[in-house]
Amino acid sequence: MNDELNRMERAFERQATVRPSDAARQAAMRAATEAFEQENANVHQGSSIGSRLRERGNQLLIALKRRPFMDFAHPKLTHLLAGGASLAVLAVAVVSIDHIRPGIVSTPVETKLGQATPADEKDVIAALPDSAPVARLEEEVPKTKEAGKQQPGIPPVSKRENRAQFSFSPQTTGGVVANEATSGLRSRDDTVVRQYRDQGRDKFSDITSNPLKVVAKDPVSTFSIDVDTASYAFVRNALNNGVLPQKDAVRVEEMINYFDYGYQAPENRNQPFRANVSVMPTPWNTNTKLLRIGIKGFELPKTEAPKANLVFLIDTSGSMNAPDKLPLLRNSFKLLLSSLKPDDTVSIVTYAGSAGTVLEPTRVADRNKILSALERLNAGGSTAGAEGIRQAYQLAERQIDNAGVNRVILATDGDFNVGISDTGELKSFIERKRASGVTLSVLGFGRGNYNDELMQALAQNGNGNAAYIDTLSEARKVLVEEAGSTLFTIAKDVKLQLEFNPATVSEYRLIGYETRLLNREDFNNDKVDAGDIGAGHTVTALYEITPVGANGRLVDDLRYQSEPAKPATGSAEEYAFIKIRYKLPDSDTSTLITAPVTRVSEAASVAKASRDDRFAASVAAFGQVLSGGRYTGSFSYDDVVSLAQSTKGEDRFGYRAEFINLVRLAKSAAALEPGEQ
């Protein structure tokens, strides 16, 4: 198709100027219009290029009756028509090959033709019926020789991406600016560039709230810690766009762990963290209590930070062509550079239809070279993510520093559609690569086509963390403020296990961590992988417990079995016994920390609980209400606001105030995002 259009364009350029008489010109136009209308009277929009172009030509020809063709047609084309040129050429040429622009990413959404049009076309466009569709190429368009040339960071167009890669886009002149409905940005040649926009294809792992457990039957709870915060940022992005997040997007523990708490930190890195415990009445249930376990990681002084060998693995596929994707990604990595030391090294690998190295290992001291490589990145093509991961690990291993941090940082919307895309197969590859000493962190971008399920799996198995970047402020939080916890691991394979005392607790449930549960025997098995903690990380876990003798138990006693015997040991002052296992970064043998949870750490009322405890409870309540409120009864968004209102404290960066505003937004948010019109 491109070759044919090129030949036609060259023919037009070589065509000598013909100036027929007015009578001949008018007679030719009448005959052409009547013949074309008769031939295409029943043509409707279809999936082939030909039918789409014919219908577009038909619509335009109908408009010609209402205005002299000479006012707007291409001069050479007009002369050809007057001389009796084929109407098949007319149908293609009127649209103009200048409107077919490879590499312009477009949302597959129909829009009216009247948007962002030059002034001299307005009358023609207005003559078209409101239902006239924008013509779009949906079939494969062969690449020209020039278009097929690969450039760094600009992968070739894939057949699988042709729908997103080609579109008819109206040209602009005289300073016409594309309106919001077109999702357009002006390119350097003053052309409206419609950007990729997808909707409703975000993918999350299925989450079912942890069930209530009876202590007499199942007294032990075991899980891996989770330091990720991606869920909170995604929820915030959805609410700021006026829509409630889908339930599986809400991981309550990640919402709680988004915030910092004033937990007591360890004195040195030999014991990288310590357990902080407390108990308070449950705000949404007067019959239960909240047991909180808090962990604060050792704060690593910047002067002691090890050297970093980082590989930025950047998705430059067509789906990344949106303001909240590749442009935001570039600026995010620029912020990260400000957190690194001059002798740290950075490499850049990109992937789209294929993968390649854009920047060989470069010292951060050569900042301009790194910035230049980031600026050259452009989006286009399909998504060969697996090949990109393979090459990034290869590059990191080639420059590995056994005394430093070796990490691949993957930045993507997670849409792997070329090569290996099976989550299980990718997880296996990442698991095997852990032994090389290279870890993997994931930064997610964008909405509509965001594959959280894949990114969580990769980060968990790559001994890294997952964050979602929806604003430059979030990039600053993750990559500048929390750079130490993002990059520098102080403890790995951290597992928690609680044994509840049946003398004081009858029922319990773990709030969140549904994707991090472990078997009881996994706790003492050092071969079982678990979460890692970075320098300065805080981790919070909440259990809702029902004291023995309290009203409102959800599980009745059994009729045909006697009550279990009271334990011979265990203090009536203890609610539970905590055990924490972890490994130091350079060790394969775990260390055990233990601590009892006693009534000494209990607050008599919600009002008397610490500010951090009340805020953590408000975030936990919000997350549960968003995901269905199975255990929160009639607790409402207003109740969450009331609970959180007095817990802001210093709030240096305004994160807690922002949380309260998000809860208010949830009250009026739509259950489903409206479709594109």
Q: Are residues 254 and 317 in the same domain?
A: no
pLDDT digits (tens, 9 = 90+) for 503-514: 999 999 999 999
Return the structure tokens found at 605.
């009322």
User: Within a domain: residue 599?
Assistant: yes
**Domain-terminating residue out of 424, 448, 464:** 464
Residue 245: half-sphere exposure toward Cβ, Cα within 13 Å? 32
Residues 208-223 have a mean pLDDT of 95
Same domain, yes or no, for 290 and 315? no
Does residue 600 lie in a domain region? Answer: yes
Distance of CA 127 to the CA centre of its chain: 42
Last residue of a domain, one of 194, 226, 255: 194
Question: Who's near 591: CB < 8 A, 6+ residues apart?
Answer: 271, 581, 582, 583, 584
Residue 424 has pLDDT above 70, yes or no: yes
- Whether the pLDDT of residue 562 is over 50: the answer is yes
Shared-domain flag, residues 283 and 318: no
Statement to judge: residues 528 and 499 lie in one domain: yes
Section 164-172 average pLDDT: 34
pLDDT band at 577 (very low <50, low <70, confident <90, very high): very high
pTM (two decimals): 0.71
* 570 band by pLDDT with thresholds 50, 70 and 90: low
Query: Is residue 473 one of the residues assigned to a domain?
Result: no
Per-residue pLDDT tens for 523-539?
999 999 999 999 889 99
Nearest to 315 by CA among 155, 477, 126, 110: 155
Q: What is the band of 39 on the pLDDT scale with cuts at 50, 70, 90?
A: low
Q: Note the Cα 351 to chain centre separation in Å.
A: 17
Least trusted range by pLDDT, from 417-421, 513-517, 656-660:
417-421
327-362 burial: b if 16+ Cβ within 10 Å, else e: bbbbebbbbbbebbeeebbbbbbbbbbbbbbbbebb
pLDDT at 658 over 90: yes
My answer on whether 65 and 162 are in the same domain is: yes
Residue 654 belongs to domain with CATH number: 2.60.40.1230
**Per the structure block, which two tokens stand in for 23?**
């009578």
645 lies in the same domain as 505: yes
Q: What is the pLDDT of residue 20?
A: 64
Closest alpha carbon to 264 in 293, 236, 221 = 293
Angle at 522 between CA 457 and CA 454, to 5 degrees: 5
Q: Give the tokens for residue 193.
A: 């560039």
In the predicted structure, residue 281 carries a pLDDT above the cut 90: yes
Instruction: Give domain status of residue 469, yes or no.
Output: no
**pLDDT recorded at residue 198:** 62
* DSSP run (H or E) holding 224: strand 220-224
Q: What is the pLDDT of residues 70-100, one digit of tens each?
A: 444 444 444 444 444 444 444 444 444 333 3
The answer on pLDDT for 293 being more than 70 is yes
In a domain, 404, yes or no: yes
In a shared domain, residues 82 and 12: yes
pLDDT bin (cut points 50, 70, 90) of residue 58 is low
Whether residues 432 and 505 fall in one domain: no
Considering only 107-111, 202-206, 641-645, which range has the smallest mean pLDDT? 107-111
Query: Which pLDDT band holds residue 567 (cuts at 50, 70, 90)?
Result: low
Considering the domain boundaries, does residue 444 fall inside one? yes
Q: Tell me the pLDDT band of 571, cut-offs 50, 70 and 90.
A: confident
Average pLDDT, the chain: 77
Both tokens of 440, joined, read 């993997």
- 418 and 534, same domain (yes or no): no
Q: What is the mean pLDDT of residues 509-521?
A: 97
What pLDDT does 4 receive?
Answer: 64
- Rg over alpha carbons for the chain, rounded to the nearest Å, is 31
Which one of 407, 429, 464 terminates a domain? 464
Q: How far is CA 501 from the centre of its chain?
A: 41
Residue 119 clears pLDDT 80, i.e. is over it: no
Residue 352 belongs to a domain with what CATH number?
Answer: 3.40.50.410
Residues 277, 366 share a domain: no
Residues 296 and 428 in one domain: no
Task: List CB contacts of 176: < 8 A, sequence separation 6 or more.
Answer: 116, 117, 118, 119
Q: What is the per-residue pLDDT across 327-366, written as a single tens digit (0 to 9) for each? A: 999 999 999 999 999 999 999 999 886 678 999 999 999 9
Listing DSSP states for 596-634 in one string gives EEEGGGB-SSTTTS-HHHHHHHHHHHHHHHHTT-SSSTT
pLDDT at 16: 58
Asked if the model's pLDDT at residue 103 lies above 50, the reply is no
pLDDT band at 493 (very low <50, low <70, confident <90, very high): very high
Q: φ and ψ at 350, to 5 degrees?
A: -115, 160
For residues 502 and 527, membership in a common domain is answered with: yes
Query: At residue 116, does pLDDT exceed 50?
Result: no
Q: Please give the residue range of the domain that contains residue 398.
A: 309-464
pLDDT for res 429: 83
Give a yes or no: residue 364 inside a domain: yes
Alpha-carbon gap, residue 322 to 462, rounded angstroms: 28
What is the pLDDT at residue 395? 92
Confirm whether 208 is domain-assigned.
no
Question: What is the domain count for the chain?
Answer: 3
Q: Above pLDDT 90, what percent of the chain?
A: 46
Q: Is the per-residue pLDDT at 406 higher than 70?
A: yes
Contact (CB, 8 A) for 103 and 189: no
Closest CA to 204 of 240, 247, 235: 247
For residue 159, pLDDT beyond 70: no
Selected residue with higher pLDDT from 510 and 138 = 510
